[in-house]
Each structure stands twice: as structure tokens, then as C-alpha cells.
Amino acid sequence: MGEFFNVVESEKAYEFISKLKSVEGFEILDVRESISRTSAEDVIAGEDLPGFNRSTVDGYAVRSPDVFGASLSTPAMLKVVGEIKIDEEYEKVLGEDEALKVPTGGKLPDGADAVVMVEDTREAGEYIEVFKPVAPGQNVMRKDEDVAKGSIVLRKGERINVGHVALLLNLGMVNVKVVRRVRVGLISTGDEVIEPEMKRTFPHVRDSNTHSLKAFLERLGYEVKRYGISHDDFDELRSLMLRSFEENDVTVSAGGSSVGVRDYTVDAINSIGRPGVLIHGVLVSPGKPTIFGLVDGHPFVGLPGHPSSFTLSAFVFLIPLLRKLSGEEDWMLKPTGRFKIADNVFSKQGRETFIWSERLYRGGEVLVKPLMFKSGMISPAARADGFIRIPAGVEGYYEGDFVEFYSISEGLLI
């Protein structure tokens, strides 16, 4: 066991996550119920979109060779064979030196390969004069230019967004195969931890961690079961863990604040199966007490007990892990963007540091303001709309420097 008792850089934690396998099993869902789920297969278009050659301007559908070399001084003369509305089609093949008047969005007749804009023509009885040549395909959206039949419109491992839903429905696909929901078991630990409904006297702290995380993860589409609060007791913790390991794909504990509880957690995991705890602390602030383990293929994440650290570590480590288990290709934590910082800020002893922050909108500029607070405060997480990251080895930033910002809502629905 000893050799695994390592405190590692966050890269190692992500390396651990990268090796986890996606859960097995899928569901066939109505596309309209699939937002934020992960596609379980490459989805192939069964039709072309738009499905017909479509004019992108108001003008005349023509055969481009017929207007080759047309100019103001030597216009091409074409016979106008008719005019169609947007919902009409010309039944015949467009012949040589013929033109069909078409609206924007209208269907090109067979034979036509381009559209002359109405501004480049002049009506002359049954004829038009065309003053400008068009290249083949000009002012036309090809029938398979938006989507070609047989092409992939949704990749395996992509998270489904509202744009995919619209696209699939347009293609007439109303069902989609998605990875089944990942099941998460949550255990709170600590003699001092009580349920939120209870009256608090020293040294009690109410368990906000597993309750708020459950609410949040359910909103993200995970199936979450809470196993209550374990005392600082090896047997009690182990038996809750066993239940969670049996019923879920991943088990998450919210550690108590004392060092003793972490020891119980490690011992319990290691007593259940192999290889047990693999990462015993991550060199990030906050979140150093974060633990990762694997028990007979079942991942375990131990998050720090303090609410602010807990929520931050959940964003930084747990959600990427859950996205990986859900089969998402693009599971890694990614910054929303890089923004100018509105204050000086310093890292914790050169360690990789995350700080709750909020964006400020100042005269068209978007800045990010770190919320200064004492370690242990809970309220800043409610004020923040995200957090910044100071990489390992960087001592801090001065006002005006660009910093990575991670929005709370990013990485959730996209």
C-alpha cells in the first residue's frame, strides 16, 4: 500500500481519469429528450440537406455556359420560361438559353447550375438580358451542401446540444442512441456532520456537500444516490461504501475536516478491493486532500469536506471524471476563456491554485475579479460565477494580466 501514498500534481489525477473506461450500456431516446446526453454511436445522415439545389438569392436560374462572357456591352439573352414561388418546382429540364425566375430559397430546376442575381439582369419581354457571367454553382446551395447523405452528423462521444437536436429532427431522425446515465453514490463522513434540517451547536456542521452536489449532478444528467452521513467509524463507512460500490458506477465521499477521517476512508477503500487508493492528495489549492482510488474497476473519489473546497474540487476533478465515464470524448476541464484580471492575486506557495471569481462588465470589456476571502468561507462560492486558475509554479498575477477563467455553467451544457 505504501508506495501508492503519493501526493501528485493535477496532471496525474487527469491521467488516472483518462484511463477510466466509459460505462457499458445505452438507451434509445427520443431526440427531444437527449440534450446533454452522450451519443453512443456515430449518427449517419440518411438524407441530403437541403435535399435540392437551392438559390441563395432572388434571380434567374440558368445554365452557366449560356452566360459565359456576358457583360454590360454584350449581354446574354435568355428566354424566361417561367417563375416559381418558394414552394413550387419547375417540372421540366431547363434548356439551353433558358432562364427560370426563382426566389431566395427557391428550387433550381434540373439543367440549371447557377443563379444570376436579379440586379444583373434586365427584363425584355419574354427575355432577359444578363450583364454578368456566373460560375457553375454560383448563388446556389448544393442539395448536399449543408449535410450529405452518409456523412456523420453526430459523433460517438459527442455531448448532444440543441443544435444537434434541430439537425437530427430536420433529417427525420427522432431517436438517438445514448450512453446510459452514469450512477453516482455519495457518502458524507464525519462525526461532526449533521443533516441540514438539524439544529446546529458546536462543533456541528450541516452537510451541504452531498445534498448540493446531488442537486447539481442530477441537473447535469447523472443518476445520484445519497448514502447519508457516516460517523468516523471504519465499519460504518466501509458498509456504506460497499452498498454504494454495488449500486453505482462511481462512489464519492465528502471527507470530514479531520485527518483521522481521511485515514478511515483510505483504509475502508483498501479493505474492499484492488488496487485501492492510488492518489492520496493532489497538489492543488484548495482540494489537496482529494483522493482517487479504483476498486475492482469501480472508481472512487474522496473530496475534501469543506464546502468551498468540496465544490471546487468537484468541478475540477469529479465532473471531468463523470464525463469520461459517460463516454464523452471531450471530457477534460477547459477554460471558458482568458480574461484580464481586475486585482492582484497570489498562488498558495507556488502550488496550482483555484480561486472563486466573478466576471465584471466594464465598458465593453469583460474582466475577472477574484473573490478575496479567508480559507474556510462558504459564501464566496454563492457569489462567484466561476473560478480562475493559477498554474503550478506561477506565483500570481498582477491586475491587467490575462488569466484562465472557468465558468460554472461551462462544461455543463456544451
Residues 249-268 that bind its own copies (CB under 8 A): 257-258
Binding of its own copies by 203 (CB under 8 A): yes
User: What b/e string do you get for 273-284 counting C-beta neighbours within 10 Å, with b at 16 or more?
Assistant: beebbbbbbbbb
Give DSSP secondary structure letters for 198-245.
S---TT-EE--HHHHHHHHHHHHT-EEEEEEEE-S-HHHHHHHHHHHH
Binding of its own copies by 270 (CB under 8 A): no
Compare residues 97 and 410 and give the one whose CB is closer to its own copies: 410
Minimum CB distance to its own copies, residue 79 (Å): 25
Grid coordinates of 132: 454578368
Angle, helices 234-247/259-272, rounded to nearest 10 degrees: 50
Q: Which residues sit opposite 177 in a β-bridge? A: 28
Question: Omega of the bond prior to 320 within 30 degrees of 0, cis?
Answer: no
How many other β-carbons are positioned within 10 Å of the β-carbon of residue 236?
Answer: 16
Binding of its own copies by 223 (CB under 8 A): no
Binding of its own copies by 51 (CB under 8 A): yes
Contacting residue, 200, 228, 275, 399, with its own copies by CB under 8 A: 200
Contacting residue, 128, 153, 241, 316, with its own copies by CB under 8 A: 153
Grid coordinates of 196: 441540514
- Terminal Cα-to-Cα distance of the chain (whole angstroms): 39
Minimum CB distance to its own copies, residue 389 (Å): 11
CA distance 244 to 233: 17
Quick note: the x/- pattern for its own copies over 291-330, rule CB under 8 A, is ----------------x---x-------------------
Binding of its own copies by 117 (CB under 8 A): no
Compare residues 1 and 152 and give the one whose CB is closer to its own copies: 152
Binding of its own copies by 35 (CB under 8 A): yes
Minimum CB distance to its own copies, residue 173 (Å): 8
Stretch that binds its own copies, among 62-70, 94-102, 172-180, 239-247 (CB under 8 A): 172-180
DSSP, res 94: P
CA distance 288 to 304: 8
How many residues belong to the site for its own copies (CB under 8 A)?
A: 98
Minimum CB distance to its own copies, residue 197 (Å): 6
Minimum CB distance to its own copies, residue 48 (Å): 11
Contacting residue, 21, 79, 362, 383, with its own copies by CB under 8 A: 383
Binding of its own copies by 375 (CB under 8 A): yes
Minimum CB distance to its own copies, residue 96 (Å): 25
CA distance 184 to 253: 10
Are 328 and 156 in contact, with CB atoms under 8 Å apart? no
What is the residue type of 124? A
Binding of its own copies by 407 (CB under 8 A): yes
Stretch that binds its own copies, among 68-76, 117-125, 202-210, 237-245 (CB under 8 A): 202-210
Contacting residue, 132, 180, 183, 212, with its own copies by CB under 8 A: 212
Handedness of CA 260, 249, 10, 229 (dihedral sign): negative
Q: Which residues contact 71 (CB under 8 A, 6 or more apart)?
A: 131, 132
Compare residues 196 and 297 and give the one whose CB is closer to its own copies: 196
Stretch that binds its own copies, among 119-127, 264-272, 336-344, 347-355 (CB under 8 A): 336-344
Which of 410, 224, 382, 249 is closest to 307 using CA atoms? 382
Binding of its own copies by 362 (CB under 8 A): no
Compare residues 269 and 353 and give the one whose CB is closer to its own copies: 353
Give DSSP secondary structure letters for 109-143.
PTT--EEEEGGGEEEETTEEEE-S---TTTTEE-T
Minimum CB distance to its own copies, residue 342 (Å): 14
Compare residues 199 and 274 and give the one whose CB is closer to its own copies: 199
What is the residue type of 13? A
The 3-state DSSP class for residue 365 equals: strand
Grid coordinates of 325: 465515464
Minimum CB distance to its own copies, residue 198 (Å): 7
Question: Omega of the bond prior to 275 within 30 degrees of 0, cis?
Answer: yes
Binding of its own copies by 239 (CB under 8 A): no
Binding of its own copies by 393 (CB under 8 A): no
